[in-house]
Amino acid sequence: KSDLQINYYSESCPRAEEVIKEQVTNLYNIHGNTAVSWIRNLFHDCIVKSCDASLLLDTAEGMESEKTSSRNFGMRNFKYINTIKEALEKECPMKVSCADIVALSARDGVVLLGGPHVEMKTGRKDSKESYVAQVEGFVPNHNDTIQSVLSVFQSIGVDTEGTVALLGAHSIGRVHCTNIVHRIYPTVDPTLDPTYAEYLKGRCPSPEPNPNAIEYARNDRITPMLLDNMYYKNILSHKGLLLVDQQLVSDPDTYPFVEKMAADNAYFHEQFSKALLILSENNPLTEEQGEIRRDCRYKN
């Protein structure tokens, strides 16, 4: 049995949660987008089998990293995880797991970006493997049907309302042109607002963007650094970037929740917070299954 609990480190490392918050705040003040990354990290780690920092392992000793999966395209700021881990190692060596860094950095990132405070347990253990072959089975693609997205989330205990709320994370951050061009070239997707499509063409002038070029559009042009319900207002006015975003409006199962969240930021925050908590507690490893890594990039 795993032993996630509130303030798991109260004896082994009493300042652990404070150290993480200090580091996340410092990093946010230097590079605001680190906070955005921590939220995406939580999703991409926790949905793949477990919240076990399997995402953070680098390719080593013949084991390929999850970071190389195309579903993890665009993920950034991994190097600053090391900054957080180093501060923790200084405070109390080998006590705080990388999986808890994933969870708590996301929690603190959400608050810095104007989202709700999520009360999270700790005590996660780190995996000894990265599961690159499993990533595509868990992390949906940008053009998957909403029904298949709902069924993946259902499998970890997040219902339709929770899934709609989690996608509200696309109220922050960016999307690279490779994930957008199919909606504007050769013809503009009719479900896309025409003036918005013109803006996207300006951001992504070529139908075949160089995947290495840093060409992207912001998820939410109006409040790009706020985790607010603007995402739902955007998709209601046909300004969703990804096909998966736009489908929330066209599917009768998800549409009512989109309307409710667009109308009420507090309600969005409440649902987001509930669903993020479930995601963060997906299948934690027991003591024997996992370890506490010294360096989040490598198993011990």
- Residues lying near ligand HEM in the complex (CB under 6 A) are found at 36-37, 39-40, 43, 73-74, 76, 140-142, 149, 166-167, 169-170, 172-176, 179, 242, 244
Is 230 near Ca ion (CB under 5 A)? yes
Sign of the CA dihedral 23, 295, 153, 235? positive
Separation CA 179–CA 196 (nearest Å): 16
Which of the ranges 167-175, 205-213, 242-250, 290-298 carries the binding residues for Ca ion, by CB under 5 A? Answer: 167-175
CB of 287 to ligand HEM, least distance (A): 28
Q: Is 193 annotated as a binding residue?
A: no
Q: Is 48 annotated as a binding residue?
A: yes
Separation CA 59–CA 42 (nearest Å): 20
Q: Is 3 annotated as a binding residue?
A: no
* Binding-residue pattern over the window 45 to 74 for Ca ion, x denoting contact by CB under 5 A: x--x-x-x-x--------------------
Separation CA 20–CA 18 (nearest Å): 5
| 234 or 291: CB nearest ligand HEM | 234
- What DSSP element (H or E) covers 203? helix 194-203
CB of 164 to ligand HEM, least distance (A): 10
Strand partners, 295: 298
Catalytic hit among 31, 44, 117, 176 = 44
List of long-range contacts for 251-257, beta carbons under 8 Å, 24+ apart: 251/146, 251/147, 253/146, 253/147, 253/150, 253/160, 254/146, 254/150, 254/160, 254/163, 254/164, 257/160, 257/161, 257/164, 257/165
223 contact, one of ligand HEM, Ca ion, none, CB 5-8 Å limit per kind: Ca ion
| 173 or 240: CB nearest ligand HEM | 173
Residue 291 dihedral angles phi and psi, to the nearest 5°: -150, 180
Q: Is 209 annotated as a binding residue?
A: no
| 276 or 292: CB nearest ligand HEM | 276
Q: Which two tokens stand for residue 219?
A: 């998820």
Q: Is 34 annotated as a binding residue?
A: no
CB of 97 to Ca ion, least distance (A): 12
Residue 44 a catalytic site member: yes
Residue 118 dihedral angles phi and psi, to the nearest 5°: -110, 120
| 158 or 181: CB nearest Ca ion | 158
Annotated catalytic sites, by residue? 44
